[in-house]
């Protein structure tokens, strides 16, 4: 069985991601200082801030399936934050 996931991302001429402005704002600092394995809230803010279903301060204890999948892939080392940032450019 093959599952295809298609994401529409608008990219400006300067190659910056515009569909994920909050991710783009946070990722540089996180990559410079690192993200510890216990930084679950920081990870959630990074991955969820651009989601239309996430409301900071209200939904922070909820975890959707997409967040769980991405967090697990990152936690297990199957994908890095650098690879994720590169994929979104």
Q: Quick check: is 33 in a domain?
A: yes
Per-residue pLDDT at 27 exceeds 60: yes
Specify if 3 maps to a domain: no
Look at residue 11 and tell me if it is in a domain.
no
Domain assignment of residue 29, given as a range? 21-87
* CA–CA dist 40, 21 (Å, integer): 20
Q: What is the pTM for the complete model shown?
A: 0.66
- Asked if residue 45 is part of any domain, the answer here is yes
Mean pLDDT over 51-70 rounds to 81
Domain assignment of residue 74, yes or no: yes
pLDDT of residue 3 exceeding 50: yes
| Count of structural domains, the chain | 1
Q: Is residue 67 part of a domain?
A: yes
> Hey, what long-range contacts does 37-40 have (CB within 8 A, 24 or more apart)?
37/75, 40/71
**Residue predicted with more confidence, 68 or 58:** 68
Instruction: Give a three-class secondary structure readout of 74-88.
Output: HHCCCCCHHHHHHHC
Residue 16 lies in a domain: no
């Amino acid at each position: 069985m093959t599952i295809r996931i298609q994401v529409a991302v608008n990219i400006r001429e300067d190659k910056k991601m515009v569909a994920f402005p909050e991710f783009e704002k946070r990722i540089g600092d996180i990559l410079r200082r690192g993200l510890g394995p216990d930084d679950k809230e920081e990870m959630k803010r990074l991955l969820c801030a651009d989601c239309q279903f996430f409301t900071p301060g209200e939904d922070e204890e909820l975890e959707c399936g997409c967040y769980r999948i991405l967090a697990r892939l990152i936690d297990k080392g199957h994908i890095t934050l650098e690879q994720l940032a590169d994929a979104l450019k």
